[in-house]
Structure 1
C-alpha cells in the first residue's frame, strides 16, 4: 500500500509547490508528472464509459432503448423485411454471428465508443486542464469556442448519418432484386454504421476549419469567393470518396450538407473581413508606410491575458539609470 499513498503524497506536494509560485511555473519533471496524472484520469473516465456502454448495449434505460436496439434499428426497418433472410423459428430481426467472440467484441466496441462520447466532457477536460495554464485569456476563449462548435457540428453530422443509414441500406440491398437475400454479419454491419457516423461527424468540421483559418488570417473572403466553384466541386468529390456505402443517396446528402455549411462559413468570413477592414481604416493602418511601425499598444493588461505574477516580476526589474543626468 506504500505505492498509492506515496503517489498521492507526491501529487499533493507538487500542487503545493505550484500554488506557491506566483507565475505558476513548473519544471520539466513536474510537467511530465502532470501529464501522466491527466492521462490516467482520462483513461479512467474512458474505462468507466466503456463499462457503462457495455451494460447499456443489452439493457433499456427507462424510455431510452438499449444501445443494441439503436444500432440495429436501421437494419431492422420494415422496408428491408423483403430483403432480409428469416431463419426458421426466428420472428425478430437479428444480425448474424459467424465467429465465436464476434458478438462480444461488437458489444465491447460499440459500448466503448458510446461511453467515450457520453463521458467526453470529463476526459477532454483533463487535456484542457493540462494545456490551459500555458495559454493567454484570449487564446483560452478562442480554444473554448472552437471545441464548443466542433462538438456541436460533430454531433449534428453523426445524427444526420444515422438518419441516412436506413435509406442508404435500402438502396444498397435492393440492387440485387429478387435474386439475392441479405443476412448481414454483425461485424460488417456495425463497422458500416460506425464508419458512417464518424465520416459524417468529421466532415462537418471542415467548415469550422475554414472559419478558423479566416480568423487567423490564412484565408481571406476574396480567395474563398474566388475558389467557391472549385471548392464545391471538391466537396462533392470528397463525399463520393468518403462515404463507405458508395450509395448515391449518402453521397448526395453529405455533399449538399457540406455545401450549405461551407457557404455559411464563407458568409461568416465575409462579415469578419468587412469588420476587419473597417477597423484598419479607422486605425489608419493602410495609410502607414512599410517602414513605419503599426499603432499597436504593447502595454500589458489583465484583459490581454497577463500571466499571474507578471506585474510583480516587472516591478522587481532594476530601473535604468541615466548617467548623463547623474553627472
Structure 2
C-alpha cells in the first residue's frame, strides 16, 4: 500500500482500539468504588486508634487530599481497568495492522499471538497486584516508632496502576521475540547469544519502569521476564530445529549457496538437425557465403 493507505489503516486500528478501551472504561466507572477498594486492599491499614491491625507490624491511614482528587481517581482507575479489560481487542488490532506485510503461512500465527498475548498481559497485571502487599509492607516498615503514616490515596493508586500496566507490558516482551522467530526475523541461536545483554537490559528496564526505588519491586518485575525470555529462547530453538528438518536449506545464510547437482544425463531419441534451406533464386547468395551458412544462420 501507499503511505497514505498505511496511515489510514493505522488510524482505523487506533480508533477501534480506543473505542474498545472507552467502552470498558465506561463499565469500570460504574464499579469505581469497588475497584478502588480492591486496589487498596493490599495496603496495611491502621485501626480506629491509629494502631496496626492484628497481623501487621506497621500501618498507614489512607486519606483524600484535594477537592478534585476523588474525581481524578475515578478516571485514572477506570481507564486502567479499561486498558486491561480491552487487552484482546487492542492486541488483535495491533496484529491486524502488521499481518498484511507477512506471508500467508505467517498469518496463521494470529490466533497464537492472541491466545498467548492476552493471558500474558493479564498474568503480569495479576502478578503486580500480588507483589503490592509485600512492597507496601516493606516500604512502610521503615517508619520510625511513634510515627503514623498518612498516605494520600492518589499517590498509592498511582503506584498500583503504573505497576499493573508496566508488569503487563513487560510480560509481553518474550512473546514478541517468539513471533519474530516464527516469521524468520530472529533465530533461536542469535537470541541465545544475546542472553547477557538481554538480562542486563531487562534489569535496567525494571529499574526505570517500577515506580518505587526499592530493589524488591525491581527484582519482582525482572525475574519473571528473565524466565519468560529463556522460555522464549527455548521455543525459538525448537522451532528452528523443526524448520531445519522440513527444509535442509533453512540453515543457510543469504550469501551461502546451496548444493547444486551438476551431473549430466543422456537424452534418448536425439537426432541431428538438418541444414537450413538454400536462399530463393530472387536473392542469390555468393557461393563463398553459401558454404558458410549452417542451420543456425
TM-score norm. by structure 2 comes to 0.69
When Rg is computed on C-alpha atoms for both structures, the one with the higher figure is 2
Query: Which deviates more, 39-48 or 229-238?
Result: 39-48
Deviation string, structure 1 residues 290-320 (Cα, Å, up to 9, x no partner)? 57799xxxxxxxxxxxxxxxxxxxxxxxxxx
Asked if residue 98 in structure 1 is aligned to residue 65 in structure 2, the reply is: yes
| Equivalent of residue 75 in structure 1, options 26, 43, 48 | 43
**Unaligned regions of 5+ residues in structure 1, if any?**
1-24, 59-65, 86-94, 295-327
- Give the CA deviation at 1:161: 0.6
Distance 1:183 1:121, change over 3 A: same
Task: Report the structure, 1 or 2, having the larger helix content.
Answer: 1
Alignment of 1:74-223 (within 5 A): 74-76=42-44, 78=53, 82-85=58-61, 95-121=62-88, 137-178=104-145, 180-223=147-190
- Give the CA deviation at 1:150: 1.6
Deviation string, structure 1 residues 165-221 (Cα, Å, up to 9, x no partner)? 110011111123326432111221111001111111111112112212222333322
Distance 2:107 2:194 in 1: 32
SS in 1 for 2:141: helix
Deviation string, structure 1 residues 130-167 (Cα, Å, up to 9, x no partner)? 88788765344223322331211111111111000110
Deviation string, structure 1 residues 269-308 (Cα, Å, up to 9, x no partner)? 1111112222232x6986x9957799xxxxxxxxxxxxxx
- Give the CA deviation at 1:222: 2.3
Query: Which deviates more, 161-170 or 108-117?
Result: 108-117
Distance 1:270 1:197 in 2: 31
SS in 2 for 1:176: coil
- Give the CA deviation at 1:96: 1.5
Higher relative contact order (CA 8 A, sep 6+): 1
Distance 2:96 2:199 in 1: 38
CA RMSD of aligned residues (A): 3.6
User: 8 Å contact 1:103–1:186 — kept in the other structure?
Assistant: no
SS in 1 for 2:247: helix
User: 8 Å contact 1:150–1:208 — kept in the other structure?
Assistant: yes
Aligned length: 249
User: 8 Å contact 1:154–1:204 — kept in the other structure?
Assistant: yes
User: 8 Å contact 1:50–1:115 — kept in the other structure?
Assistant: yes
User: 8 Å contact 1:53–1:114 — kept in the other structure?
Assistant: yes
Query: Which deviates more, 175-184 or 123-132?
Result: 123-132
